[in-house]
Amino acid sequence: MIRSLIVAASENDVIGREGDLPWHIPGDLRHFKRLTQGHVVVLGRLTHESIVARLGGPLPGRTSVVVSRSTPSASSDVHWRPSVPSALSLAVELEESAGKSEVFVIGGASIYTQALPTIDRIYLTRVHAHVEGDSRMPPEWLKGFALTSELDGPAGHSAFAHSFLQFEREKA
């Protein structure tokens, strides 16, 4: 089972501002959907609430495992767990039972930080700008990972140039 982290981060590793993304990059949203569609995603409560507020429900076409100390009632598409390790464990179980082989950690910052030691692959949309924000990736978070692919994002309806990078954990 591959444990992946997917994130968009500026050059100064900012990932959020006031509970939302500090940019709108349609190509990144399409990239995120293409990679995560049909898979299990692990996310924090605030990220889940932000998605529900924006979309009117959880991410369609994905099963969400939400990390939260409170446990609202579960549905077939949303499960609640009290810790990142228990959320990842359930995510792996659900992904395997669906015959798939990759789970995705999708945020926020605390969830990323806690999951990082167990991550095999990182999908990073690098936003080529320094932006202000109140949520960021931890220092040296890419240490121990090797860049395996890089593709410039499409120019278009965004003021932000960006690249899609993929990293794999380096073997010891």
Domain span at 83: 2-169
Sign of CA dihedral 13, 122, 30, 44: negative
The CATH number for 12's domain is 3.40.430.10
pLDDT the model gives residue 157 = 64
Number of domains the chain contains: 1
| Model confidence band, residue 164 (pLDDT cutoffs 50, 70, 90) | very high
Mean pLDDT on 117-128: 97
pTM of the shown model: 0.94
pLDDT, tens digit (0-9, with 9 covering 90-100), for 73-104? 667 789 999 999 999 999 999 999 999 999 99
Q: What does the pLDDT read at residue 155?
A: 67
What is the model's pLDDT at position 156? 65
